[in-house]
Amino acid sequence: MNRRHFLLASTGLAALGTGFLVRPPGEFLSARDLPGRRRLQMPARLDTRASGRLELTAMEGRSNFLGHGETLTTGFNQSYLGPTIIMREGPLGANVRNTLNRAVTAHWHGLLVPGEHDGGPHLPIPQGEFWKPDLEIAQPPSTAWYHTHIHGATAQQVYSGLAGVIQLTDGRDDQRGLPSDYGVDDLTLVLQDRRFDGSGRMVYDVDMMDVMHGFTGDTMMVNGQVDTVAAVPKGIVRLRLVNGSNARIYRLYFDDGRPMHLVATDGGYLDTPVVLERLRLAPGERAELLVDFSDGAMPVLMSDGDPNQGPGGMMGRIRGLVDTIIDRSFPVLPFVQDDSLPVRITRLPEALGGPMPNLAGPRTAARRFSLDMGAGGMMGRGMMGRRGRGMMGGFAINGRPFDMQRIDLEIARGSVERWIVSTSMLAHPFHIHGALFQVVSDNGRAPRPENTGWKDTVLVDGTTELLVRFDMPASRETPFMYHCHILEHEDAGMMGQFAVS
């Protein structure tokens, strides 16, 4: 009996391996049998292309994720998460209002805008106020996202819902042969894992182990929905994956082994699709896949366990071994066919025309970054340190915990720099604001296939070498950040900041 048969054989809410809840899709023969509430919904769409205006309001709301038990949540323009913002190149006048009783920010993760418009920790929108950055969008099409970024509170605030997706488009996807019918053959999938208490309320109760390993949940949520099924046409479908989890690292694959064709990474299209059997997606990363559903089958998108969690979590060397002994894989999202949906694309495009990064050139001086978790690790005194907002010390980059008052680097605008990032404990997704980079090497080898395009976030497990191009200016008052995108690590001090001029 393979995993799929196991899924089909189980009935009702089946707790699998790690306690992930999913109802097997096998009980539905087609989308017609799928109850409306089980059908995955796309985030609302906010198309800014005609108006050149973007209105977002951070607000509180009540969410009922499990069908019983309400949670007080937050979102942009709605009670949890925010709309998918469709934008194109050109001026975009944004207005972000904050109706919450605490400061938030609106960071545009993946947009290349100057530091004063970036929405980082130096740009809080106080309670009851608004922020009006005049954005100028000038970069190739991509899937980006936005989220709050208050230092020390990012993890809790994002967890409670302050995040959403951005689709930057040039309207030429038909020419590229790419699916672009929102919610039909072009699916936006925000992956988040959450915890719930006995009364069905979503909870964020971090203890020291959660800070150490990053906070993970036992219930999978896609677009803020639990236990849903994606209905797709019998053709080629585009999946825009956004890892909006606080800490969980996914390694995605289909249970029937069907290939996933990677067409875009953080910074936009690849030149040609890359076939993957598994896709590693760390917090903050995006990937666009094409998947062929024309066979009419009902595959399940699965993930391997998070290498940072579980018994092998702290001991990098035996992590792989643990995973072969204990199967920690879990279902992320089942798919069913919906014959009523139009089939628009039946062939994979040969080329996408994305400009591949090629930053090699005059040798730039290298900067080294070590992502530190403290010499004592979990056993040491670092745990009880006074830094890191009282949670624990030791989280730092190059030995220095984040300090809002300290500019760590001054970078020349227009330069390309070699950044060598290394870890000694756990794997950390390293993110840079206001810049795109090329992964040059990963532990001395060529980058993984999913890291060959333009990136703004990359999972570092050992030593990863990057070439980073700094085109956007940032003053000392509103510097750019670089940090681990495990939000508990970021809040605890694994972050630095830089000015560009």
Positions in the binding site for ligand C2O (CB under 6 A): 107, 109, 147, 149, 284, 431, 433, 481, 483, 485
8 Å CB contact between 453 and 270: yes
Smallest distance from Cu ion to CB 272, Å: 27
Tokens representing 401? 């915990």
**DSSP-derived secondary structure letter, 451:** G
In the complex with ligand C2O, the residue whose CB is nearer, 281 or 291, is 281
Tokens representing 63? 């969410």
DSSP per residue, 345-408: --S--S-----------SPPPEEEEEEEE-TTTTTSGGGG-STTTTT-S-EEETTB---TT---
Residues of this chain that interact with Cu ion (CB under 5 A) are: 109, 428, 433, 484, 486, 489
In the complex with ligand C2O, the residue whose CB is nearer, 194 or 485, is 485
Smallest distance from ligand C2O to CB 76, Å: 15
What b/e string do you get for 192-201 counting C-beta neighbours within 10 Å, with b at 16 or more?
Answer: bbbbbeeeeb
Among ligand C2O, Cu ion, none, what binds residue 484 when CB lies within 5 to 8 Å by partner kind? Cu ion
Among Cu ion, ligand C2O, none, what binds residue 483 when CB lies within 5 to 8 Å by partner kind? ligand C2O
Among Cu ion, ligand C2O, none, what binds residue 248 when CB lies within 5 to 8 Å by partner kind? none
| Whole-number Å distance between alpha carbons of 273 and 350 | 7
DSSP per residue, 244-295: --SSPPEEEEETT---EEEEEETTEEEEEEEEES-EEE-TT-EEEEEEE-TT
8 Å CB contact between 168 and 141: yes
Residue 313: CA count within 13 A, CB half-sphere: 20
Smallest distance from Cu ion to CB 125, Å: 17
Smallest distance from ligand C2O to CB 109, Å: 4
| Whole-number Å distance between alpha carbons of 3 and 8 | 9
Smallest distance from ligand C2O to CB 175, Å: 31
| Whole-number Å distance between alpha carbons of 113 and 283 | 21
Among ligand C2O, Cu ion, none, what binds residue 428 when CB lies within 5 to 8 Å by partner kind? Cu ion
Torsion of CA 407, 412, 413, 415, to 10 degrees: -120
In the complex with Cu ion, the residue whose CB is nearer, 240 or 433, is 433
In the complex with ligand C2O, the residue whose CB is nearer, 245 or 303, is 245
In the complex with ligand C2O, the residue whose CB is nearer, 28 or 108, is 108
In the complex with ligand C2O, the residue whose CB is nearer, 349 or 496, is 496
Q: Residue 21 contacts by C-beta under 8 Å, 6 or more apart in sequence?
A: 13, 14, 15, 218, 219, 220, 226, 227
8 Å CB contact between 147 and 109: yes
In the complex with ligand C2O, the residue whose CB is nearer, 117 or 149, is 149
Smallest distance from ligand C2O to CB 489, Å: 12
In the complex with Cu ion, the residue whose CB is nearer, 234 or 433, is 433
Among Cu ion, ligand C2O, none, what binds residue 489 when CB lies within 5 to 8 Å by partner kind? Cu ion
Secondary structure of residue 427 in the 3-state scheme: coil
Place of tokens 């001026």: 91
Cβ–Cβ contacts within 10 Å for residue 227, how many? 19
First to last CA, the chain: 61
Smallest distance from Cu ion to CB 285, Å: 11
Smallest distance from ligand C2O to CB 107, Å: 5
In the complex with ligand C2O, the residue whose CB is nearer, 210 or 491, is 491
Q: Of 65, 37, 82, nearest to 228 (Cα)?
A: 37
Among Cu ion, ligand C2O, none, what binds residue 149 when CB lies within 5 to 8 Å by partner kind? ligand C2O
Cβ–Cβ contacts within 10 Å for residue 96, how many? 22
Q: Of 477, 470, 445, 485, nearest to 116 (Cα)?
A: 477
Smallest distance from ligand C2O to CB 319, Å: 25
Smallest distance from Cu ion to CB 428, Å: 3
Among Cu ion, ligand C2O, none, what binds residue 284 when CB lies within 5 to 8 Å by partner kind? ligand C2O
Among ligand C2O, Cu ion, none, what binds residue 234 when CB lies within 5 to 8 Å by partner kind? none
